[in-house]
Structures are given as C-alpha cells and as structure tokens.
Amino acid sequence: MKKIVCLFGILSMGTLCMAQTKATYLDPAQPLEKRVNNLISQLTLEEKVQQLIYNSPAIDRLKIPAYNWWNEALHGVGRSGAATVFPQAIGMSATFDDDLLYRVSTAISDEARAMYNASIAKGYHQQYAGLTFWTPNINIFRDPRWGRGQETYGEDPYLTSRMGVAFVKGLQGNDPRYLKVAACAKHFAVHSGPEKLRHEFNAVASIKDLRETYLPAFKALVDAKVEAVMCAYNRTNTEPCCANTFLLQDVLRDEWKFKGHVVSDCWAITDFYEGHKVVANSAQASALAVKRGVNLNCGNEFPALVDAVKQNLITEKEIDSSLAILLRTRFKLGMFDPKGSTPYDKLSPDVINSADHRKLAREVAQKSIVLLKNNGVLPLRNDLSLYYVTGPNAASVDALMGNYYGVNPQMVTILEGLTGAIKPGSQLQYKPGCLLDRDNVNPIDWTTSDAKKADATIVVLGITGLLEGEEGESIASPNAGDRLDYNIPQNQIRFLQTLRKDNKKPIIAVVTGGSPMNLADIHELADAVLLAWYPGEEGGNAVADVVFGKVSPSGKLPVTFPKSLDQLPAYENYSMQGRTYRFMKAEPMYPFGFGLSYGRFEYGPAKTATTTISKKQSFTVTTTLTNKGKAESEEVVQLYITDVDTKENAPIYALKGFKRAKLAAGASKEVSFTVTPEMLSVVNEKGESVIDNGHYKLYIGSASPSARNIELGGSKPAELVVTVK
C-alpha cells in the first residue's frame, strides 16, 4: 500500500510539475530564437507548411490560434469595419510632410491594435483583423497610365523614401521589444504596370535604373527595420520577383542584411507555372519560392511543399529555416505572450475614428490639396447670395476613398463640406449635371442654366476608383484599372464647356483622382483649379476650408503631369529615360513639386560659407523666404541638385530635401539645408554611386526647376553653383 501511495504521490507531483512548467515557446522570459526553435520542433511537416500560408490554421494541441496574415492599411485600416479614412497615399505624399505622415500612421496603428484587441476578445480570427499590414506601397509611379499609382508616394525615390520610412515607423512603434504592428514594403521590385499583364510581364531594368530609381526606397525602409517585404507578380530581368536571386538573395538578404520575412503577392507563386512558365507545377513553384527566400505564401500553393519534400525538391530543414524567420514576426507582435504583455494590449475601440483622428484626417486633406490655377477668384467669400455645386463627383463617396480603403459612418462629401461652410442666408443649390464617364441619356439639361444664375459655381470633376485602380476592383475600367487614355472623360469637358458658355461669373473646378490626367481644357475653362486627390473622410470639409480661405492651399505635386502621353515612352518600357521630372526633357503641363498658394512667396539669394567643396565635406545652403502676399500661408521649400559636368547620364534635377515653412503675410524666414556628400553622388552605368569632380547647381524653390513653374505662377528659385574637388 505504501508503495502505491508513494507511486501515486510521485505521479501527482510529476503531473503538477508539468502543469506548472510553461512550454518554452510560451515563456516570454526565454530568448526569441529559443522560443521559435522550440515551437518548430513540436510541429509536423504538414503543420509547418500550413503555418507558411497566409490563412494559417489553429493548432489546438499547442495552443496556437488561427491567424490570417492578410491585412491592409494604405491610408487607414482597410476592409475591417469603421476606421478613420485618411487621404489616399498619393494625396498624403502631396503634403511633402513626413512628420505629418508619422502622425497618420501612428493613428492608424492605434486603431489597428484596438481592432485586433476587440476581435481577439470575441474569439474572431478573420482576414483583415490581424496585425501584419501589407503597406506601404513604395513602387515608383513612373508612368501615369498605371492605375495603382495612387497607392504610391509618387515618382521620386527620395520623396518616396522619406514618406515611406515615416509611415513604417508610425506603424511599427518604438517599443524596444514588441512591434505595434508589422509593416511591409511592397512590391519588390520594379513593379508599376501594365496591370493587365502583371502575371506574365517581364520588366527589364538596367542596373543603373535599379540602383538610381527602383531600389532606393526599399533600401531606406529596410534600413528603418521594416518587418516584411512583399515580392511582386512580374518578372524583373527574366526571373519572377518571388524567385529572383538578385533581388531576394544578393540585394535584400546579403547586401542589405534584411532580417524580416518575405511574403509573396497574392497567388504570385501560381504565376510561376501559369504566367511566367518557369516551372511545371505547384510543387516545383513552391519549392523554388522558399529556396529563393519567400517565407509566407499569400495564396494556396504552399501545401504542395509536402509533396516537394517527398520529391527531394526541398528539404524539411529548409522549410524549418524559412518558418523560423516568419514566426519571429508573430513573437515580436506578442502573439504567444500573456495578455497585457505588450504596451499596446490596452488600446480600446475608443481610439477608432476618434475626434483627434478625424481632426488629423482633415489636416492631412487640407495640406494635400494642390492649387493648380487661380486667376484671383479664390478664396471665395462664404456669404455670397447663391452658390451652385455640380459635377459627377460632388456627392460621390467613391471620390473620397480611392482604393484599399476603410469605411466610415461619417464620410463628408465635397457637396456636404461646401454646404456646411456657407453662412446662414446664403443659398446653395446642387445637381450632378453629368455622369462620371458617359454622356447623359436624357437631353434635358436644367443644370447649366441654373448654374449661370449663381454668384459662383463649383464643379467637381475627375475620376474615381471605378476608373483607376487594381484589376477586379475598377469595374468601369476597360483596361484592368489602368488608364490608357490620359484624358479626363470627354463628357465632363463638354459639360464644363456648357457651364462656361456665356457665363462670366467664377467657376471653380475641383478635380478628384489619384494619377496625372490631361487637365488642359479644365485649366483653360475654369477660373481656378484644385486637385483634391481622394481626400478621405474629411475631404469635403477640407475642400471647403481651402475654397473659402479658412486655410491656404499648400499641397505640391508628387508626380509630373505631362501634356499628353505623346511625351512619354511606351508604357511597357521600364527605362527611366524620358520619364518623370528627373529625366523628362519635354515641357510638362504641371511640373513635379508644383502647387500655388494664397500667399506669394519669394526666395532670396542662396548662400553658403564656401562654394568650393571637398568630396567628403557636408555644407549648409541657406535662403530667405518671404511671404509678400496678403494671407498667412505655408510653403513647401524644396532643394534640387544637378550634377552639371557629369558624364554618367545623371538626372536633370534630383530632389534632395524639403521643409515646410508657415509665414504670416509680410513675414520672412531663413530656411537652410545640409548637403551631404551622398546627396551629390550619381549612379554610373555599373550601378555604383560616385561623386564627380566639377560643378553642381543647387536650386531652392517652390517646385522642380522649370520655366513652366514660373509661367503658371510659381516662385523663381534661389540658385547656387558649387565646385567639388
């Protein structure tokens, strides 16, 4: 009996000890690598493979909940219920304000964590409710035909880098141990259309264009410790981007020392055999992707890895190594730690679309709006007798959102914003007047005659996500979301012509959209032209703030508006020659960096302590900015550098700095930039950064150096030549 009791006691103690001993992977006190390896050691091959897929199932025996890696937060938490909807990415970039973008992404990650906390509390684990966000899109908007260019920060690698880094830092937070959410740099790399061909297309790019244009923003985000990189659908220089040795191994892992995980674009692995024809089947495609560096499969191909192991296409050890990289992200997000472990576990739904976040959305929208023309009619008084609002996008919610959007119960259309801003006693009337992209069926037109009775007409034109965006989403696009016709829909131009005929009263055109478009006719017909982009939930209020002078417009174009597509190389050509302000010699409709103000800024002479510089020397260049207008306004001061003597086919101009400066009417302020040796470097044909001896021209001004900028009413830049020895 004593032996039995003793044995029972021993067994009881053993059971108690097991209950009290926490599994290594669940113990926050253990080193990260030890936890990751411990978890992997307890998984079967089939379970390992399932954890490499975006919709990873639960493993109940190990207390691993299901997790869906696919989440979006391009300009607010997307596809996940009520959230603050900020202006589309291209609009945020038009602010030229990376500090503002950091505040935006901090607000987004607050809301993301709050949504996640609420979902987990309910036991929900669905798509778009997680903490791994596939944003930002830092591809270069090299051609205005690309419908997804609206998702980017424009055409310039420096601007894209600054804005992208700020966005990543705000998303991921600054806790030394835990990620707030995980950001993702996409689409790696050399990816910007044609949208219809992306599953089979080979983008050919020289090593110079890669190093000078297509890769710098990705390197900047890797240096900022972005947690993930998404590889693109297309091929780059013959190899699929999700199996590209140069991109994923030579550059990303070996050269840049990237430590995070790589996720495939969705169903890009299927393209290996269906589009690119580089392998025969799913097993071969999956093995190739993992061996080349893909850790997470957005798609359904990776289950074939089990067969790939049996066929000796890949080893289980290689799968373990890939899974270890991926699981680190979930551990860094605190997903295997007790509730309350991270500083973000207490974020509650109160932060979602809070008053502060709505105020921030309005500020961003205000600063994103670009004034393209003003013959003096703006700002309007808000106490005129009668205003007439018309146009296909005046009451459109689609015109506020762009793509990859969230939803919100208080979307303020442009019509609503204008209506709320006029004084009591004034009248405002509205009729849409014309359809988005086709002629009116009914020939009876009350709108144009009614508009002529108004003291001012505000016509809201342009495009929406119905006409530009991603394949499958832009349901009115004949080209899978791309815009192969650069013109604004011609029915809108005809409508504006009827509004203008025999009408000498002010007509203000507000244009929505996410890409360059031919605005020549609108510029000619309207007294003032405002580009509002897709301005988000507070877009209507922000437009009203600018129209009625509550704020002065300060947005700048992050992309060149050519006069027509005839000025550009073929869409499928990925050479940068002839593209963007950096290499385009033709005179544009609107230059990069352009945007007018209610102030009138003048730049004093550019000064530096010495104009002879060594290659290893940083120096400061300064100018005096003066607002000679009658309204307090904010200017985006931009620094451009030209290597005058280079033989390396360097950019004509290159943005190297920008700062915002707010000045009262009549006020002046010194603005300075520190110029580093790296800012003087150019990329040669071998892809190497070199600093030439010779002359460099520096410009500090309101836009990229251009006679067109002055012609449109922009400021003359300050100029300075330095000699590098």
Integer Cα distance of 414 and 417 in angstroms: 5
CA distances to 39, 340, 613, 651, 679 from 691, in Å: 50, 52, 12, 14, 9
Residue pointed to by tokens 């908007």: 141
Report, as an integer, the average pLDDT of 96-118: 98
Among the listed residues 516, 463, 470, 594, the one whose alpha carbon sits nearest the alpha carbon of residue 141: 516
Sequence-separated (6 or more) residues with CB below 8 Å from residue 478: none
Active-site residue, 468 included:
yes
Mean pLDDT (the chain) is 96
Report, as an integer, the average pLDDT of 590-597: 98
Among the listed residues 234, 299, 236, the one whose alpha carbon sits nearest the alpha carbon of residue 264: 299
pLDDT tens sequence across 473-523: 999 999 999 999 999 999 999 999 999 999 999 999 999 999 999 999 999
Integer Cα distance of 561 and 712 in angstroms: 13
Report, as an integer, the average pLDDT of 528-555: 99
- 110, 195, 265, 527: which one is catalytic? 265
Q: Does domain 361-583 have CATH number 3.40.710.10?
A: no
Integer Cα distance of 152 and 558 in angstroms: 10
Report, as an integer, the average pLDDT of 85-97: 99
pLDDT tens sequence across 379-412: 999 999 999 999 999 999 999 999 999 999 999 9
Q: Is residue 662 scored above 70 in pLDDT?
A: yes
Give the pLDDT of residue 584. Answer: 98
Query: For the purposes of burial, counting CB atoms within 10 Å of the CB of 446, is it exposed (0-12), middle (13-18) or buried (19 or more)?
Result: exposed
Is residue 395 a contact partner of residue 384, using CB atoms and an 8 Å limit?
no
Same fold, 361-583 and 601-724: no
- How do 67-68 and 55-56 pair as beta strands? antiparallel
Q: What are the residue boundaries of the structural domains of the chain, listed by start?
A: 361-583, 601-724
Give the pLDDT of residue 6. Answer: 37
Residue pointed to by tokens 């000619």: 524
pLDDT tens sequence across 349-360: 999 999 999 999
Sequence-separated (6 or more) residues with CB below 8 Å from residue 699: 639, 640, 641, 642, 653, 705, 717, 718, 719
Active-site residue, 175 included:
no
Give the pLDDT of residue 13. Answer: 35
- 97, 156, 416, 468: which one is catalytic? 468
Q: Is residue 372 scored above 60 in pLDDT?
A: yes
**Token pair of 92 as six digits:** 């945020």
Integer Cα distance of 687 and 157 in angstroms: 15
Among the listed residues 423, 501, 493, 420, the one whose alpha carbon sits nearest the alpha carbon of residue 459: 493
Is residue 266 a contact partner of residue 257, using CB atoms and an 8 Å limit?
no
Q: Is the dihedral of CA 426, 431, 434, 435 positive or negative?
A: positive
Report, as an integer, the average pLDDT of 616-623: 97
pLDDT tens sequence across 158-214: 999 999 999 999 999 999 999 999 999 999 999 999 999 999 999 999 999 999 999
Integer Cα distance of 402 and 387 in angstroms: 27
Report, as an integer, the average pLDDT of 595-610: 98
The number of helices, as runs of H, and strands, as runs of E, in the chain is 22, 24
Whether the bond into 136 is cis, omega within 30 of 0: yes
Give the pLDDT of residue 22. Answer: 81
The DSSP letter of residue 23 is P
CATH number attached to the domain at 601-724: 2.60.40.10
Is residue 407 a contact partner of residue 82, using CB atoms and an 8 Å limit?
yes
3-state secondary structure string, 55-82? Answer: EECCEHHHCECCEECCEECCCCCECCCE
Is residue 181 a contact partner of residue 172, using CB atoms and an 8 Å limit?
yes
Among the listed residues 376, 467, 389, 396, the one whose alpha carbon sits nearest the alpha carbon of residue 426: 389
Helix then strand then coil, % of the chain, to nearest 5: 35, 20, 45
Is residue 614 a contact partner of residue 724, using CB atoms and an 8 Å limit?
yes
The DSSP letter of residue 205 is -
Neighbouring CB atoms inside 10 A of 195's CB total 25
264: part of which helix (H) or strand (E)? strand 261-264
Report the share of the chain in percent with pLDDT over 90.
97
Report, as an integer, the average pLDDT of 420-435: 98
Give the pLDDT of residue 8. Answer: 34
Neighbouring CB atoms inside 10 A of 128's CB total 18
